[in-house]
Amino acid sequence: TRLKTIPQIELVEPDITTQRLKITHTSALTLETLQQALADFPKYSIQTLVNEANKPHFLTTYKPVLLIFTLLVLCCCIDVWNLVKQQATTAFTINHVMRVFMGGFFISFSFFKLLDVRGFASRFKTYDALAMYIPVWALCYPFIECALGLLYLSAFNTMALHVFTALIMLSGLIGVILAMRLSQPIQCACLGAGFNLPVGNVTLVENGLMLLMSLLMMI
């Protein structure tokens, strides 16, 4: 009934089986107009129907992130191999491998963010728990991330570094979890503003893994 109050709509035909509506209208309608008409009825929602045949494949969507992770794993393997060849068994520890991985991770991802700091910040503020309330944090984040990468690669192994890393990763993880609960997709800022990556399971794993590693480094 509420949809029929929109002037452009001529006919509304509900289909109980598929839980969809067929709307006949005389002129163009926007999704926002339909959503506003149902604003007083939170039980119902109208969303854009995505054609699964045209939906990008998972590997295509997250290709840049997966490539970076693959290269980082290869770098860690090469580093371990070199230590084994040099018989530097005392230098080879799990913490050493995590430190190399985290250092490479932060530097790699900060590079893309630094290409367009303001573009990154505008995306980051839409879901990061801290950046939502402190906008300047979003502008500083790429530089902080780069600094963290350099510190980890330089073996700056202090409790303060690991605690700080854990806190910012926790903030990001909370934001990702909340964003994933929304019906509308949010663009991920992990690779800055140059890639159209939705906030999803990959983003969740990315933040969760860094949080876990920073916690393990405290032990």
pLDDT in tens, 77-124: 998 888 888 876 666 688 999 999 999 999 999 999 999 999 999 999
43 located within any domain? no
How far is 111 from 99, CA to CA, in rounded Å?
18
5-37 pLDDT, tens digit per residue, is 777 777 777 776 666 777 777 776 666 677 777
Please indicate, yes or no, whether residues 142 and 93 belong to a single structural domain of this protein: yes
123-178 pLDDT, tens digit per residue, is 999 899 899 899 999 999 999 999 999 999 998 889 999 999 999 999 999 999 99
Q: What is the pLDDT of residue 52?
A: 47
182 located within any domain? yes
Our count of domains for the chain comes to 2
113 located within any domain? yes
Please indicate, yes or no, whether residues 158 and 117 belong to a single structural domain of this protein: yes
Q: What is the pLDDT of residue 71?
A: 96
Please indicate, yes or no, whether residues 31 and 128 belong to a single structural domain of this protein: no
HEC sequence for 128-164: CCCCCCCHHHHHHHHHHHHHHHHHHHCCCCCHHHHHH
Please indicate, yes or no, whether residues 100 and 145 belong to a single structural domain of this protein: yes
Q: What is the pLDDT of residue 88?
A: 65
E strands present in the chain: 9-15, 20-25
Q: Residue 17 is part of which domain span?
A: 3-37
Please indicate, yes or no, whether residues 27 and 81 belong to a single structural domain of this protein: no
